[in-house]
């Protein structure tokens, strides 16, 4: 069976799609002092017409006097002036392999591009202890018996608000308009930030948010989770939107609605929206589904809160020649072209074997991953794999290493 590869380098059968791997992601004003940006690392990233995409390393000062450097990535319109900020943050898997080694800000390339197309400087921020960010992750020292939801929420919101302050030092970032967006435990994290009513934040969006998901659909220390949500609602006055997929297997819409009701009844301002089902598990639709699947309810919420929602950058449709191969390989390549899952690459051996990579940190990393998985699927006497596309460009045939 032809296989693809996801951002982690994990092989996934075509029938299951790469997207199923994401099912495991469950997951008073504070002064943060001066925060500065370090020079971006040298790496190659796909550039799209009308947009600027570049990595950031944000040096932040935290309320306890400590400093950290956060792994981040900005996607913004190529326009002069200061832009409203959309800060996006991630979920938690719970393993170093996933959260440290494999996670990078490009996991959110698709929603970042969507926000940037509508006028935002969209900055994906990895909190402390994730990806290449320094420090200790907000889930460390926890267990299912003692998940310490409130402690994790405080740690995460400190990172988020310090990162927002750092972003606002950039010449392209407004210090008066911002929206915070979090997925999975990132959704829980932006709700924790809502409790402090940060200045210059007009809206907060919780996507499939929660914390402590178990495989059976329940959560670790549900009463503690509800208590944390209640405490956030007691002081939060910023409008929030809660978006849950109909078939979220980590935090079901029913559980999301329970948390939403608790938050609202405590005094918070919230709206609830349930999307249609997405694939077999909709938990990670924000990073996996096309923009058209989720943008409209978010756009309406943004407009309600005097934030931009109109399209400012129209991206040209990518149309590369389809490989003259089997229907399965051609379909895989069509899916590849349509996805905004940069950095990405596609390799084939010219017959029935192919490999693709998505969400890599750099273009070269994506190319290497795509070639490697393609090579793994070859039979003994099959032709060697070559790179077919890198990002949105056809490539000069580059063979796999060792061939």
Sorted by where each starts, the structural domains of the chain and their CATH numbers stand as: 3-11+321-399 (no CATH), 31-304 (3.40.50.1820)
Which of the two residues, 40 and 100, has the higher pLDDT score?
Answer: 100
Query: In this structure, what token pair is assigned to residue 57?
Result: 């390393």
pLDDT reading at 20 higher than 50: no
Which of the two residues, 238 and 139, has the higher pLDDT score?
Answer: 238
Query: In this structure, what token pair is assigned to residue 380?
Result: 């003994």
- Confidence grade of residue 98 (pLDDT, cut at 50, 70, 90): confident
Mean pLDDT in residue range 290-294: 97
Structural contact between residues 194 and 186, judged by C-beta atoms closer than 8 angstroms: no
Query: In this structure, what token pair is assigned to residue 37?
Result: 């940006």
pLDDT reading at 97 higher than 70: yes
pLDDT digits (tens, 9 = 90+) for 48-88: 999 999 999 999 999 999 999 999 999 999 999 999 999 99
Looking at residue 403, what is its pLDDT?
61
pLDDT reading at 114 higher than 50: yes
Structural contact between residues 336 and 346, judged by C-beta atoms closer than 8 angstroms: yes
- Confidence grade of residue 398 (pLDDT, cut at 50, 70, 90): low
pLDDT reading at 38 higher than 70: no
Looking at residue 32, what is its pLDDT?
30
- Mean pLDDT computed over every residue of the chain: 88
The residue with tokens 């002069």 is 80
Which phi and psi (to 5°) does residue 88 adopt?
-110, 135
Name every residue whose Cβ is closer than 8 Å to that of residue 201 and which is 6 or more positions away in sequence.
164, 178, 179, 180, 193, 238
- Confidence grade of residue 199 (pLDDT, cut at 50, 70, 90): very high
Looking at residue 351, what is its pLDDT?
86
pLDDT reading at 5 higher than 50: no
Looking at residue 372, what is its pLDDT?
95
- Confidence grade of residue 287 (pLDDT, cut at 50, 70, 90): very high
Looking at residue 380, what is its pLDDT?
86
* pTM, entire model: 0.89
Q: Which of 229, 174, 176, 173 is nearest to 206 (CA)?
A: 229
pLDDT digits (tens, 9 = 90+) for 319-355: 998 888 889 899 999 999 999 999 999 999 988 899 9
Which residues lie across from 26 on neighbouring strands? none
Which residues lie across from 345 on neighbouring strands? 357, 390
Mean pLDDT in residue range 119-141: 95
Of 9-18, 191-200, 269-278, which gets the smallest average pLDDT?
Answer: 9-18
pLDDT reading at 173 higher than 50: yes
pLDDT reading at 2 higher than 50: no
- Confidence grade of residue 23 (pLDDT, cut at 50, 70, 90): very low
Of 22-36, 53-67, 248-262, which gets the smallest average pLDDT?
Answer: 22-36
pLDDT reading at 284 higher than 80: yes
């Amino acid at each position: 069976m032809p296989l693809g590869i996801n951002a982690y380098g994990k092989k996934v059968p075509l029938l299951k799609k790469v997207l199923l791997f994401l099912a495991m992601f469950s997951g008073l004003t504070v002064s943060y002092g001066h925060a500065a940006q370090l020079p971006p690392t040298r790496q190659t990233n796909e550039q799209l017409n009308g947009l600027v995409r570049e990595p950031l390393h944000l040096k932040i000062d935290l309320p306890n006097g400590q400093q950290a450097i956060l792994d981040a990535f900005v996607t913004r319109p190529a326009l002069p002036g200061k832009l409203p900020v959309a800060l996006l943050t991630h979920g938690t898997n719970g393993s170093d392999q996933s959260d440290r080694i494999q996670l990078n800000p490009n996991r959110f390339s698709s929603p970042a591009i969507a926000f940037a197309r509508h006028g935002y400087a969209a900055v994906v921020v990895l909190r402390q202890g994730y990806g290449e960010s320094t420090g200790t992750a907000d889930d460390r020292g926890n267990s299912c018996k003692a998940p310490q939801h409130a402690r994790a929420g405080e740690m995460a919101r400190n990172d988020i608000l310090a990162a927002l302050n750092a972003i606002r030092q950039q010449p392209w970032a407004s210090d008066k308009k911002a929206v915070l967006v979090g997925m999975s435990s990132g959704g829980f994290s932006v709700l924790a930030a809502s409790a402090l009513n940060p200045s210059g934040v007009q809206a907060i969006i919780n996507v499939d948010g929660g914390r402590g998901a178990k495989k059976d659909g329940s959560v670790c220390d549900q009463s503690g989770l509800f208590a944390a949500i209640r405490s956030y609602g007691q002081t939060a006055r910023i409008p929030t939107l809660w978006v849950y997929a109909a078939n979220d297997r980590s935090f079901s819409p029913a559980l999301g609605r329970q948390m939403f009701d608790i938050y609202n009844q405590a005094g918070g301002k919230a709206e609830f929206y349930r999307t249609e089902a997405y694939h077999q598990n909709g938990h990670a639709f924000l990073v996996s589904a096309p923009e058209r699947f989720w943008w409209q309810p978010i756009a309406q919420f943004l407009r309600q809160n005097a934030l931009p929602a109109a399209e400012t950058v129209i991206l040209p449709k990518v149309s590369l020649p389809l490989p003259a191969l089997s229907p399965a390989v051609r379909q895989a390549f069509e899916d590849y072209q349509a996805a905004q899952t940069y950095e990405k690459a596609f390799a084939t051996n010219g017959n029935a074997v192919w490999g693709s990579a998505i969400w890599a940190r750099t273009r070269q990393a994506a190319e290497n991953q795509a070639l490697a998985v393609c090579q793994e699927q070859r039979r003994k006497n099959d032709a060697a794999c070559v790179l077919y596309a890198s990002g949105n460009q056809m490539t000069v045939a580059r063979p796999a290493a060792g061939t």
